Homo-oligomer: A and B are copies of this chain.
Amino acid sequence: MEERVKQIKQQLSSHSYKLTPQREATVRVLLENEQDHLSAEDVYLLVKDKSPEIGLATVYRTLELLSDLSIIHKLNFGDGVTRYEFRAADADHHHHHLYCLHCGTVDEITDDWLGAIEKRVEKEFDFQIIDHRLTFHGICYRCKGQVKDPKKLVGSKVT
């Protein structure tokens, strides 16, 4: 934890940004909730618990900054809100997500399963891949059995 905060501090200062108290509070909230995919509002509320004086705009600015530096990733599961996730230290790609259409939970696949497909894309489409987004929509193991007609969930749900 402290280790990672320090590392982020360095990443910031290497681009001449400071790790202000507000930014640090935001980073810590993100680290403490690494499993979740928090929206800006979520982050704001959690940060506010500890540092009530922080403003919403600052949280947005911090998330944007961290995203610019590729310290976090922006995600969009189509519910109208941008979500943020810590970018694994080692991973240079976006990992894959399992989005449950029943309960809304998002699980992760941290391995990159797209290697072969990406090669094919680069060759067949002459497309230089920088990153990817892969999300499966369906029913998670927790909700299995609770859903009668999965097809019904497809419709307008989620982009």
Residues of A within 8 A of B (CB): 64, 67-70, 74-76, 78, 82-83, 98, 100-101, 107, 109, 113-114, 117-118, 120-121, 125-141, 144, 150-151, 153-156, 158-159
Is there contact, CB below 8 Å, between B130 and A67? no
Q: List B contacts of A158 (CB < 8 A).
A: 74
A154 CA to B9 CA, complexed, in Å: 20
Number of copies: 2
On chain B, the residues within 8 Å of A118 by CB distance are: 136
* Least distance between A144 CB and chain B CB atoms (Å): 7
- B125:A130 contact, CB within 8 angstroms: no
B128 touches A76 (CB 8 A): no
Chain B residue at minimal CB-CB distance from A158: B74
* 4 A-B pairs with the lowest CB-CB distances in the bound complex, closest first: A76-B159, A126-B141, A74-B159, A128-B139
